[in-house]
Structure 1
Amino acid sequence: MELIGVVAAAAAAWVSGAIWYMLWSKPWAKDAGLALDEHGDPKGHGSAAPFVISAIAMLVVAGMMRHIFGMGEIETPIKGALSGLGIGLFFIAPWILINNTYAMRPLRLTLIDGGYAAIACTLMGVVLCLF
């Protein structure tokens, strides 16, 4: 059951990312410094590599969260949500902030990417505790 939970949690986070970045695609692309075409879409955006790599990364994160949750006896969806939110807000988002600050990127980029980390990890935590 744990493997199914990890895959389901990774899928929930991945889908939430698709929705999140559809909503924030224009400001994200601008703040990330991507070259845009005449429609405002990133040039050369036809590659499947980012989607495959992000799906694999979500599996890695969900697997590690499952391990941490098992060690910490985090078993209810509420505890999973709070723990996932904490991981997203207090581990991942600050790291994104550090990277973006050194790269001299706008704070809005950190808010977009850090917001996704918080939402995705919260969802992962809930889903992991449902299995």
Structure 2
Amino acid sequence: MTLSKAWLAATGIECDEPGKPKGGSPLPFVLSAEAMLLVAGMTRHIFGMGGIPSPGAALGAGPGSGLFFISPWIMINNACEMRPFRLTLINGAYATFGCALMGLVLKLFQG
């Protein structure tokens, strides 16, 4: 939540006085959890096909997914929606960091 205020400002989401988004819903969290399972499944498949040998290699390959697959897609969507580029940087950084952690965890706990 380090960048939550900057993210809220870039999205234009209205907030109440304490700073929480108005009209919040649990749906984005449910959809996010489902999406992360899909990303983790595909990441595991890619790691298996690519022969990623170690947690260190996974920590190198994981962020590649976030940086070179997910972040460009975020950029395309934000550009078409005329969102601030700062939003692309914030969301792209979260995607890259998340994929790095996901790759590491997948490799550490592979069965």
TM over 0.5: yes
Match of 2:12 in 1: 33
Match of 1:62 in 2: 40
Contact 1:26/1:41 (8 A) holds in 2: no
Task: State the aligned residue count.
Answer: 109
User: Matches of 2:94 and 2:39 in 1, distance apart?
Assistant: 14
1:118 corresponds, among 68, 88, 96, to 96
> With structure 2 as the length reference, what TM-score do the two structures score?
0.91
| 1:22-72 Cα shifts (integer Å, max 9, x gaps) | 211111112112122223321012x22111111111111001100111111
Match of 1:88 in 2: 66
Q: Which runs of 5+ in 1 are unaligned?
A: 1-21
SS at match of 1:23: coil
User: Matches of 2:15 and 2:7 in 1, distance apart?
Assistant: 12
Between the aligned residues of both structures, percent identity stands at 60
Q: Which runs of 5+ in 2 are unaligned?
A: none
User: Superposition pairs for residues 5-20 of structure 1, below 5 Å?
Assistant: none
What is the aligned-residue RMSD (CA, Å)?
1.1
SS at match of 1:44: coil
> With structure 1 as the length reference, what TM-score do the two structures score?
0.78
The one-letter amino acid of 2:80's match is Y
The structure whose residues are more often helix, as a share, is: 1
